[in-house]
Structure 1
Amino acid sequence: MFGFLARDTVRQAIVRAERLTTELTRIVDRLFAPFPLDEEKKAHRARAVDKRARTLAQWLDAQAARDSNGDEAAWRLKPCPSLIFVNGAGELDQKHDQDLRDTCVMLLDRAGCDLLTICDITGHSYRSAQTIVKHYRARNVDRADAGIDRLELQVRKEGMKG
């Protein structure tokens, strides 16, 4: 999530990531302190969560700019700030390897790979890959949009108002 500078060895990249993780963990309460979460007012809470997310993004950008001296070409692998985020509860969170494996299964499925090929690539069991596809396949944005379009047509056809 913190990237890999071209000038660094693998060990140096790991040490840098560990240092930044430790530093962020140490200062996160201070970073988020100006944006308290109001449990009573949902709109206020949502704004505070959004401000926390922007503050985290600014902190990550500042670390990347400092370590690369602002040179985009300094990265062997650019930082991936979407792997660390502020969750709906307003807390610091991060993607885990399991999240990424499930995403890979779905990307392979959408690319037209059969389940056995998906299992060969990801190391999932057939049953596990089948469960993931069954669980997430229903969450296809294009299919959902098409379904809503059909629903709207049906509602208009029947003369419903809403």
Structure 2
Amino acid sequence: MKKPSITIPYVAWRNGRPRFEPSPTLRTRGYQGEDLKNAAGEWMNAADALEWSQDFARQLAVEKHKIKTKPKRTALPVPPPVRPAFPVSTLFDEWSNLGKNPGWADISEKTQYEYRHKGKVIEKYLPDVWQSETAALTKPICLGMYDILRQQAGLSQASATMRTLGTALTWAMDRGRLPEMLVNPAHKLRMKTPPPRIRFGTKEEIAQMVAVADAIGRSEIGDMIILGVWSGQRQNDRLNFQIAGREKGRIVLRQMKTKAIVSMPEAPLLRARIEASEKRRKLAEVISPYVVLDEKHWTPFKRHHYSHQFGNLRDAAAKGLPETATRKTIAPMPSLKTLRDQDLRDTAVTWLAMAGCTIPEICAITGHEIKSAYDILKHYLALNPEMADSAMAKLVIWFDADDGA
């Protein structure tokens, strides 16, 4: 084969056949010589060899550009954060888990709810703490938590939340979950004590609530209110009471869940309310052991649903009701805006004291411990000048009688 007359870069001709012969520079870069043949294995002609040469030249240009261009620094991968072994969230989960904490069953349902709620307060206002290692808590950190919660959630919520955290930490420390924590960092924070809630229902306010309950077709909530002020029992107990018996003017109530028994004289007003509710059930052909039912569905009240319905009733009683064809006008009573169902228990204690009952007599009805009843009266009776008047009248009678002797 005759050697072509044209010169093609990177191509050498041997006996008319094209071959790639790299220069010494290219050889140091790793290129080696080779015969130039097409895909069919046939020798390239001059046109094919020229096309190959042009492609090779472009390849070299790209490589040259890459060498000149400083390679970008590759960012080192950021390792994922180390997950805490025992974060505060897990502390609350385990503390409220019967499988890990059988003692949780000894806590009342209401207190269990409050403890869980305080965990949610930390999760809401202090999410970083909620996901952080529990063992990392220190007293300065707990004081900082208290300061933040006091500003964002209020003094009462802050104090209660930090006390709850301290209780949870004590449980974990006692069970070896925090071996490096020798002193509970949530204790002795010198938190400001929230002012006591001073509220009880007057006879007029309770009568207004019951009247409005009957007027709007929620007589069962009126029953709950009367049961509250005439028994002094907690809301959750009242929602779960059944009548276990009646004998010689006494009514025996059994808490459906705890089986606790309350035996007390049956006040006429309470008896009338219970008998009226029994008539409504008879008409509806409903049989249930519960003292109070949600009569819209004839099922036991759920605590949160009852609280919502009580709030609606209270608001209606505060605003009053207009006259209709079936009822007279019920005048507004704005003072009711601040009344809670929880105040009914304290109302019972206060009414019993105003009626002249001793603290032991009060505790026999309401189930309060003596110290608890005393603490209630210490705040509530200060608002009643009638008690001072009664006490002074008794003193005068005693003094005059003794003087005459």
Give me the TM-score of the superposition, normalised by structure 1: 0.40
Give the TM-score of the pair, scaled to structure 2.
0.19
Higher relative contact order (CA 8 A, sep 6+): 1
Rg larger in structure: 2
Greater share of residues in helix: 1
